[in-house]
């Protein structure tokens, strides 16, 4: 569901709680699903979801419609928020979290059928060494250092492969639009 994002964001800027409720009704489930996937903990996922919508409330004009869909922007913000929570939890407990290696089936439930097909098509066009790193970085929230350690690669190689993979995906996406 793509809402009239700009109109709602202007209303949120004016302090309209009903506008935030509309956004939450449209995207709350997807945000929670994403944060739960990253965190593997319902309580932390609820906190990350709340923080995501509080960030939206506090800075509704951070969204730039010229850079993409509102839903993509919101889910990216949710992902970064969840990763921040994950890092805090790792620092707090001192233990790392074992995350799945690839995009799980439940991740696709929050994407529309066409978005899921497009994502798989884009990822499928990447060389395997780039695709694996992009998947691990995005869906698991791993840092460059964590990727280098897990894949037993120099950090410069990780950064280069990620950059090349994301550039290729962006170019493919632009050509298909």
Output the CA–CA distances (angstroms, integers) from residue 32 to 57, 102, 119, 140, in the order listed: 17, 19, 20, 15
Do 61 and 121 sit in the same domain of this protein?
no
d(CA 89, CA 159): 25
> Which of 98, 127, 145 is the last residue in one of the domains?
98
Asked if the model's pLDDT at residue 101 lies above 70, the reply is: no
Whether residue 70 sits in one domain with residue 22: yes
40/58 same-domain check: yes
Domain count within the chain:
2
pTM: 0.56
With residues binned 3-state (H G I as helix, E B as strand, rest as coil), the percentages for the chain, rounded to 5, are: 80, 0, 20
d(CA 109, CA 106): 5
The secondary structure of residue 4, as a DSSP letter, is -
Where does the chain show beta strands of DSSP type E?
Answer: none
Residues in the chain, how many?
177
Are residues 89 and 5 both part of a single domain?
yes
Same domain, yes or no, for 93 and 113? no
Residues 62 and 18 occupy one common structural domain: yes
Single out the residue in 98, 116, 136 at which a domain terminates.
98
Shared domain for 64 and 123, answered yes or no, is: no
Specify the higher pLDDT residue, 116 or 119.
Answer: 119
Last residue of a domain, one of 57, 72, 98: 98
Domain that holds residue 120: 102-177
Residue 18 and residue 63 in one domain: yes
Mean pLDDT for all residues in the chain: 80
pLDDT on residue 14? 93
What would the mean pLDDT of 100-129 be, rounded to a whole number? 62
Instruction: Tell me, yes or no, whether 69 and 142 share the same domain.
Output: no
């Amino acid at each position: 569901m793509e809402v009239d994002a700009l109109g709602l964001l202007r209303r949120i800027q004016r302090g309209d709680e009903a506008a935030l409720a509309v956004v939450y009704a449209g995207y709350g489930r997807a945000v929670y699903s994403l944060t739960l996937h990253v965190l593997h903990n319902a309580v932390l996922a609820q906190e990350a979801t709340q923080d995501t919508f509080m960030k939206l409330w506090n800075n509704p004009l951070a969204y730039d419609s010229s850079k993409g869909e509102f839903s993509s922007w919101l889910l990216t913000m949710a992902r970064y928020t969840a990763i921040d929570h994950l890092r805090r939890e790792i620092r707090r407990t001192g233990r790392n979290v074992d995350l799945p290696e690839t995009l799980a089936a439940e991740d696709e439930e929050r994407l529309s059928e066409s978005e899921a097909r497009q994502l798989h098509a884009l990822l499928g066009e990447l060389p395997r060494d780039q695709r694996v790193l992009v998947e691990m970085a995005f869906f698991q929230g791993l840092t460059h250092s964590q990727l280098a350690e897990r894949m037993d690669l120099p950090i410069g190689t990780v950064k280069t492969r990620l950059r090349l993979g994301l550039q290729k995906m962006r170019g493919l996406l632009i050509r298909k639009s």
